[in-house]
Amino acid sequence: MPLQFLLTLIGCLLFAIYGGLIAWYHRAWKALPEYSPPPAKQPGTRITVLIPARNEEENIGNCLRSLALQSYPRPYFEVIVIDDHSTDATATIIKEFVEFPVRYLSLAEWPREHGFTAHKKFAIETGIGQATGELIVTTDADCLFDPGWLSTLAACYEETGAKFIAAPVRIGGMPQWSRQHSLLSIFQTLDFITLQGITGAAVYKKIHSMCNGANLAYAKDAFFQVGGFKGIDSIPSGDDMLLMHKIALRYPRQVFFVKARRAIVSTRPETRWKGFFNQRVRWASKADRYDDKRIFWVLLLVYGVNLLYLALAIATIWNSWWGLLLLMLLVVKTMIEYPFVSEVAAFFGQRELMPYFPVLQPLHIGYTLVVGWLGKFGSYRWKDRKITK
C-alpha cells in the first residue's frame, strides 16, 4: 500500500504540472490576437520565396500554380526552387512552368563536403545566396497557399519590424486534396493541430522557440548577422526551429507568430504510416540539440507523462489497481487537452475532427513513445536518403 500511494502521488503530481502547462498554452493561444493587415498600400518589401525540392513531381506544379494566384504584386516577389538532386521529373516541370517566371537552381552545380547530411539547410542557404528580396519566405513543394499569404506576411513584417515570423501550417484542408478520413489522415491532422497551438502560444509569450519550415519568413540581413546555419549545419533537421532560436537570441523582441487565417499554409498529408513516422522521427531527431533548454524540459515532461502510461499498463499485469489508475489518468489527459485542441482546430477550420480526439488518445501515447525513442537513438529515411543519428 505505501508503494501504491507513493507512485500514485508521483503520477498525480506529474499530471498536475502537465495540466498546468496545457492550461497555460490554452490561455496564451486565446490571448494571441488574430492579425488583420492594415488597408492595402503600395508594397515596400521585396520578397524571395524559397522552395527546396527533391523528387516532387507530384506536388511542385500545384505549388507553383497556387503561388501564381498571390495578390501580392508580381514585381515585388520572386520564387526560387532549389532542386536537391531530383531523379524524377521535378526539374522539367519547373523549367516548363509558364504562368510566371520561376528561378531554378540545381544543387548538383554547387559543391559541398563529402558526407554532408543537412541537405535542406544547404538548399536554403544556396537560395538565400541568390535571393534579391529583403524578406526570405520558406515553404515546401507540397504546400498550397491562400491568395493573401504573401501580402499578410509582408504587412506583418513592415508593421512590427519583425526579424523572424513563424506562421500557421495546416495539414490538408484544401479543395485540391480530397477530404481524407482515413485513420492516418485524422491522426496526423489532430497531432499537428496540437503542435500549431503550442507553437503560437509559445512564440507569442516568448517562452521558447517553435515554428515549422513550411511557413516561415525572416529578414535576410538577420540570417547573415547570426551566421546563417553555422553551428547547426551538422544537424540534418532544424532549418526552422534551430535557426529561429539563433535569431531570437539576437532579436528577442522581434520574433512573432502571425495568427491570421490568410497566412495559413496547407501541406499535403502523408499517405502512408511509414512516411508519417519518418517525418516525425526527423522532427524529433533534433530534440537534444536545442540550445533553448526551456523546450527541452517541456519535451521531457511530455515524454514522461506518456511513459507513465506505459509503466501503468505493464504494472496492471500484477495489480489491477494500476489499470484503474491508467484509465483515470487517460480520462484526465483527454479532459485537459480537449478544450485547447478544439479551439486551435476551430482556427484552422478543422473542428469536425474533434470527436476522434478521445478515441485516438491510446494511439497517440504509443506514437509519442516510439517517435521520441527513435528520434534519439534510431535512424530514418527522408527523400530516399537514410539518415543516422
Residue 290 near residue 242, CB atoms below 8 Å: yes
**Residue with grid cell 549545419, as numbered in its chain:** 233
What would the DSSP string read from start to end of 308-370?
A: HHHHHHHHTTT-HHHHHHHHHHHHHHHHHHHHHHHHHHHHTT-GGGGGGTTTTHHHHHHHHHH
For the cut 80, the answer to whether the pLDDT of residue 323 exceeds it is yes
Express as a percent the part of the chain with pLDDT over 70.
88
The CA-atom distances, in angstroms, between 130 and each of 21, 48, 92, 372 are: 42, 9, 21, 37
Question: What is the CB neighbour count within 10 angstroms for residue 1?
Answer: 6
- According to the model, what pLDDT value does residue 148 have? 95
Question: What is the CB neighbour count within 10 angstroms for residue 282?
Answer: 21
**CB neighbours of 186 closer than 8 A, spacing ≥ 6?**
353, 356, 360
Q: What is the pTM of this model?
A: 0.90
Q: How far apart are CA 104 and CA 227, in angstroms?
A: 25
Q: How far apart are CA 159 and CA 107, in angstroms?
A: 35
Four-way CATH pick for 36-278: 3.90.1170.40, 3.90.550.10, 3.40.50.1000, 1.10.240.10: 3.90.550.10
For the cut 50, the answer to whether the pLDDT of residue 189 exceeds it is yes
- According to the model, what pLDDT value does residue 12 have? 80
- According to the model, what pLDDT value does residue 282 have? 78
Task: Please report, to the nearest 10 degrees, the dihedral formed by the alpha carbons of residues 348, 238, 131, 99 taken in order.
Answer: -40
- According to the model, what pLDDT value does residue 65 have? 96
Specify the DSSP class assigned to residue 234. Answer: T
List pLDDT tens digits, range 34-64: 999 888 777 789 999 999 999 999 999 999 9
Which whole number is the average pLDDT over 237-249? Answer: 87
Interstrand relation of 385-388 and 379-382 (parallel, antiparallel or unpaired): antiparallel
Which residues make beta-bridge pairs with 208? Answer: none
In single-letter form, the type of residue at position 236 comes to: P
User: Mean pLDDT across the chain, nearest whole number?
Assistant: 88
Residue 384 near residue 55, CB atoms below 8 Å: yes
- According to the model, what pLDDT value does residue 361 have? 95
Residue 217 near residue 135, CB atoms below 8 Å: yes
Q: Considering only CA atoms, which of 157, 285, 253, 268 is closest in space to residue 214?
A: 268
The CA-atom distances, in angstroms, between 79 and each of 164, 208, 212, 291 are: 19, 30, 19, 32
The total number of residues shown for the chain amounts to: 389
For the cut 60, the answer to whether the pLDDT of residue 280 exceeds it is yes
The structural domains of the chain, with segments of one domain joined by +, span: 2-29+293-388, 36-278
Which whole number is the average pLDDT over 351-376? Answer: 90
Look at 70-79, 102-111, 172-181, 190-199 and tell me which has the smallest mean pLDDT. 172-181
Which whole number is the average pLDDT over 344-373? Answer: 93
**Residue with grid cell 530514418, as numbered in its chain:** 380
In single-letter form, the type of residue at position 115 comes to: G
- According to the model, what pLDDT value does residue 114 have? 43
